[in-house]
Structure 1
Amino acid sequence: MTDPELVAQIKVGNEKAFRLLVEQYQRMVLHTCLGFVQDRNDAEDLAQEVFIELFRAMDKFRGESGLSTWIYRIAVNRSLNFIRDQKRRCFFQSISTRLTGGTTVDVADQSWRSRPDHEVENNQRRANLYQAINRLPERQRVAFTLSKLEGLSYQDIAGIMGLSLSSVESLIHRAKLGLQKQLYQCYKKGL
């Protein structure tokens, strides 16, 4: 079934068509969310939210872009909203901890320490990389994640982000420079 046929069937309430959509795009959505939040459980929760939103908003899909582009955009937006909410929670926890005299804990570090199946050194490298990615300005982070972690073409990223091709190229170039600088500083400290 083609994407337009799938959309048409979902719009008339065909549950089998929606299950087919989930099966077809589940891996992509989960991988996209995981690229942003770096925690499997959070990514799975976000993926479920993405499909719930897709089901509810299918009538709003006008077909101006491809179905996969629309789904990517929803997954990216959900992931970014989640990250913003996490930052707010961490900020208020940090204030609360300071007021009560406790110590703060870096949430990103904890998620990587809880994965005993990886070598400690690889965990640290991965954590450093994701921390550096998370420090990038939002648009750079989105473009870089979609390109390097999701493997999307610049043209697809331009469609998802609603930008020109040259803007995407510029964002990814600046993201690479920013990551290079951050990682150099991080590893320079360790020398």
Structure 2
Amino acid sequence: MQIDNQNFTSVYQDYKQLVYNVALQYVQNTEDAEEVIQDVFVKVYQSLDKFENNSTLKTWIYRITINHSLDFLKKKNSKKYFFIFGRKSDSEPEVNNISTFEHPGIQLENKEDAKILFDVINTLPDNQKTAFILSKIDGLSNPEVAEIMEMTVSSIESLLFRAKKSLQEKLSNKFEEYRKKK
């Protein structure tokens, strides 16, 4: 695709909401999602002239967003690990090890349940997590998920089956703990 400011602006306008929603489902914080958006569109801008139409532009942007979101989480989690005991120096801010859950699509009364659900989703292996989010949260079909993840449809079905089974077990345990506390 020939790159110029008009093409890039069009791509940005067409896909900024999709990128934001996908990033938010991974990072679960609006500021972090906005940071991922910037990284994704810098990558898109730098690579748009190399896009070869082997897949749709939407699929390509999904892949970039997922990869940047996963990389962002890995970097963020490694920083939390190093700062778990406080600041390295007086000039550096202390990083809290508390996960916040901010998703504008979740109504206030459902935020606690949604946080529990996303906390459990975040414990899944990356491939299961990605397949589950794309399929069950974004509502994509298994063939679309397979194209984005560059896998076969049967592999996606297997990932989704394992993800659902794992989520059922983990959520059951979470709610069992919750009931015992009351």
TM-score bracket for this pair, using the shorter chain length:
0.7 to 0.9
Pick from 87, 92, 107 the counterpart of residue 98 of structure 2: 107
What is the CA deviation profile of residues 8-60 of structure 1, one whole-angstrom value per residue up to 9, with x for unaligned ones?
Answer: 3x2xxx21121111111111111111111111111111112111100001122
- Do residues 188 (structure 1) and 181 (structure 2) align? no
Partners of 1:34 and 1:149 in 2: CA distance: 12
| Preserved CA contact (<8 Å) 1:146 1:157 | yes
Displacement after TM superposition at 1:138 (Å) = 0.9
- Do residues 30 (structure 1) and 20 (structure 2) align? yes
Fraction of identical pairs, as percent: 35
1:160 is matched with which residue?
A: 148
Q: TM-score w.r.t. structure 2 length?
A: 0.86
Q: TM-score w.r.t. structure 1 length?
A: 0.82
1:46 is matched with which residue?
A: 36
| Preserved CA contact (<8 Å) 1:37 1:43 | yes
Partners of 2:133 and 2:154 in 1: CA distance: 17
Gaps of 5+ in 1: 1-6, 98-103
* Segments ≥4 residues shifted beyond 3 Å: none
What is the CA deviation profile of residues 113-144 of structure 1, one whole-angstrom value per residue up to 9, with x for unaligned ones?
Answer: xxxx823xx22211110110000011100110
2:133 is matched with which residue?
A: 145
Pick from 65, 70, 89 the counterpart of residue 79 of structure 2: 89
Gaps of 5+ in 2: 87-94
How many residues matched?
168
What is the CA deviation profile of residues 44-81 of structure 1, one whole-angstrom value per residue up to 9, with x for unaligned ones?
Answer: 11112111100001122111111110000000000000
| Preserved CA contact (<8 Å) 1:35 1:150 | no
Secondary structure, aligned partner of 1:42:
helix
Displacement after TM superposition at 1:111 (Å) = 3.9
- Do residues 169 (structure 1) and 157 (structure 2) align? yes
1:79 is matched with which residue?
A: 69
Secondary structure, aligned partner of 2:54:
coil
Pick from 155, 163, 166 the counterpart of residue 178 of structure 1: 166
Pick from 104, 108, 116 the counterpart of residue 128 of structure 1: 116
- Do residues 17 (structure 1) and 29 (structure 2) align? no
